[in-house]
Structure 1
Amino acid sequence: MENKAHAIAAGAFVLGLIAAIIALVVWFTRDNTVRNIYELSTRDPVSGLQPQATVRYRGIAVGKVASIDFDPKVKGNVRVRITVDERVPLTTSSYATLSYQGVTGLAFIAIDDKGESQVALTPNNDDPPRIPLKPSVLAQLQDRGEAIINQIDEVTKKANTLLGDDNQKRIADALENIAQASASANQLTRSLDNTVKNGLNPTLATLPPLVDRTRDTMASLKTAAGDVSRVANNFNGTVNRLNAKDGPIDRLGDGTKSLAQAVDSFNSATLPRVNRVAEDTSRAVRRLGRAADGINDNPQSLLFGSGGVVAGPGEPGFSAPAVAPARP
């Protein structure tokens, strides 16, 4: 009898312990949240969505999927019933989409609100209100997949046409024409450089000696009368302006550089004109050199001209001017 009493006591203790554990589990897992029932109806597939799937409002878990079945009100649609915490501020502009968690393929209901309406959605568990279920991004991609494939096919055909043999030949010919045009431009540049070197550079080279001779001539005329001195000063001023920075000589050099940079604007008729200008400039310089040599040899020519010099008193050939008769 004593052993049986111990066995009964042990059994009663085990049963009491199990009951206490169950009570604790129920206590800790109890949910006092009040949830309202809402319905979703869609014609799109709800693959991956299972009962007890999470319902999220802007990323926050607010409920569960209660059931998934066919919609008795709309033939061919799927009806999804969800339970949502009554504290969630659902309005008449709230909508739901089917989203997926990572790469697992498990789906959940995501609820969002555009904010277009401030009218609260009135719950009714006997006749639950419906929240629009919009197509997900994956569903939209599936719907537009055929159109996208057709567009890709059309683009591929156009690319094949563009890269056909005839077009490739045209592109090669165009590149060849561009290369020939570049070679012609380079040849024109070299011709222009040679013209400048052979035409203008010798002309410019003759100017410094001419300037030096002109300076010597001016030095010899400083002892002449006031008019000759004024002419010499003016001539010196002209020489200084020629040699000044940004003066005619510098501008002529800059013009030569500009000619080398303006190759694209020259044509076949420009080079002969440049040659003629160079020849005229050379002739003008030679004439100016001869004039300077004449002035250097005969400075009096600036005052008395190029004719013979009249003999002065005591010189051979001098004749006294006639004396006018005296008046009565």
Structure 2
Amino acid sequence: MENKAHALAAGLFLLLLGIALAASVFWFQGDRTARVHYTVVARSGVPGLNLKAPVKLRGVEVGWVDSIGFDPEDARQILVGITVDATSPVSTTTHAQLGLQGVTGLSFVSLEEADGKAALTRAAPGSRIALRPTLLDRLAESGPLLLAGFAETAERLNKLLSDDNRQQLGRTLVRLDQTAADTSRLMAALQPSARQLPGLLKDADTTAQRASNALREIETLAADSRALAQDLKARIAVLDRIDGAAVQLQTTSRNLELSLVGDTPQRTRPLVADLSAASRSVERAANDLGDQPQSLLFGRGPRPPGPGESGFDERLKAATK
């Protein structure tokens, strides 16, 4: 009886010890973190995504995938249920993308913020988060268009690089080579002229300076000519007055001579003769000045040749023309 009692006590002890160990393990391994459930809505496929796949927020693991299935209301959508830490900053602008776990081909859900600078407004539990396609997804969708574009480009390149076009390109390159050689020869021929160009420019500058000086001298001469013309006009007016005075004096002397003829005393006749001679001299001087007014400035010129003198025939011919 005593042996059975000891065995029963030992069995109860072991049973209680096992229950205590199981409770301790459950206590230390139990997850008491508060979790929040969200639903990721995918319009495209979710390749490589499995249950218990990790969920990361900006690279930090915050939960896992707990369900994957089609939307009963819209079969074109896939609903992915995720469970994340309640303290995770999931906002109303958060969107999801699929990421690859190394080279295994398995995917995980990556949560990203659309606008990192916007004020954080936490999303309500159970909210739906849109799944955006990745770069590889967009490339896969646009792959046929890219291939069609590459094919069209290759076809155009084939047409561009046809035999005729290649021959034309070769001839063009040959002409370009010849043009470059001709340009080199022309530059070599122009180098001496280019070296002489500074001297020519200097001579042109000197010539322009001389021309400017000549123009200034011409302007000065023109001003002097205008002044000389005005002086000549004034002198001609004086000569006109002298001529008028001479004519008046001659008329007066003639009248005086006529009035005194016959009854003039013998002693007054020389006076009258002198007056007549003086009037004739004044008349001749006025006539000479009228014929050659420049004699006042430059002196009297030589008298014209008379009959029988040298140069008379040329003067007569010039007068008859």
TM-score (normalizing by structure 1) = 0.52
Identity %: 38
For 1:120, the equivalent position in structure 2 comes to 122
Shift in CA distance, 257/65, structure 1 to aligned 2, threshold 3 Å: same
| Deviations, residues 85-113 of structure 1 (Å, cap 9, x unaligned) | 11122222111111111211111111122
| Mapped contact 1:91–1:117 kept (Cα < 8 A) | no
More off after superposition, 36-45 vs 108-117: 108-117
For 1:255, the equivalent position in structure 2 comes to 196
For 1:182, the equivalent position in structure 2 comes to 180
More off after superposition, 22-31 vs 75-84: 22-31
Alignment of 1:13-28 (within 5 A): 15=15, 18-28=18-28
For 1:169, the equivalent position in structure 2 comes to 167
For 2:83, the equivalent position in structure 1 comes to 83
- Equivalent-residue separation in structure 2 for 1:253 and 1:183 (angstroms): 19
Alpha-carbon offset, residue 173 of structure 1: 0.5
- Residue type of the alignment partner of 1:31: D
Alpha-carbon offset, residue 43 of structure 1: 2.4
Alpha-carbon offset, residue 29 of structure 1: 1.7
Alpha-carbon offset, residue 166 of structure 1: 1.6
Alpha-carbon offset, residue 83 of structure 1: 0.9
- Equivalent-residue separation in structure 2 for 1:257 and 1:19 (angstroms): 113
| Deviations, residues 28-58 of structure 1 (Å, cap 9, x unaligned) | 3211111111112222111111111111111
- Residue type of the alignment partner of 1:121: A
- Equivalent-residue separation in structure 1 for 2:38 and 2:51 (angstroms): 14
For 1:131, the equivalent position in structure 2 comes to 129
Alpha-carbon offset, residue 21 of structure 1: 4.2
- Equivalent-residue separation in structure 2 for 1:19 and 1:50 (angstroms): 35
Give 1 or 2 for the bigger CA radius of gyration.
2
For 1:72, the equivalent position in structure 2 comes to 72
5+ residue gaps in structure 1?
197-251, 259-328
| Mapped contact 2:57–2:111 kept (Cα < 8 A) | yes
- Equivalent-residue separation in structure 2 for 1:159 and 1:47 (angstroms): 38
Q: Which structure: greater helix fraction? A: 2
| Deviations, residues 195-247 of structure 1 (Å, cap 9, x unaligned) | x6xxxxxxxxxxxxxxxxxxxxxxxxxxxxxxxxxxxxxxxxxxxxxxxxxxx
| Mapped contact 1:92–1:117 kept (Cα < 8 A) | no
For 1:151, the equivalent position in structure 2 comes to 149
- Equivalent-residue separation in structure 1 for 2:90 and 2:188 (angstroms): 82
| Deviations, residues 277-322 of structure 1 (Å, cap 9, x unaligned) | xxxxxxxxxxxxxxxxxxxxxxxxxxxxxxxxxxxxxxxxxxxxxx
Alignment of 1:168-317 (within 5 A): 168-188=166-186, 254-255=195-196
TM-score (normalizing by structure 2) = 0.53
Alignment of 1:34-49 (within 5 A): 34-49=34-49
- Residue type of the alignment partner of 1:62: V
5+ residue gaps in structure 2?
200-321
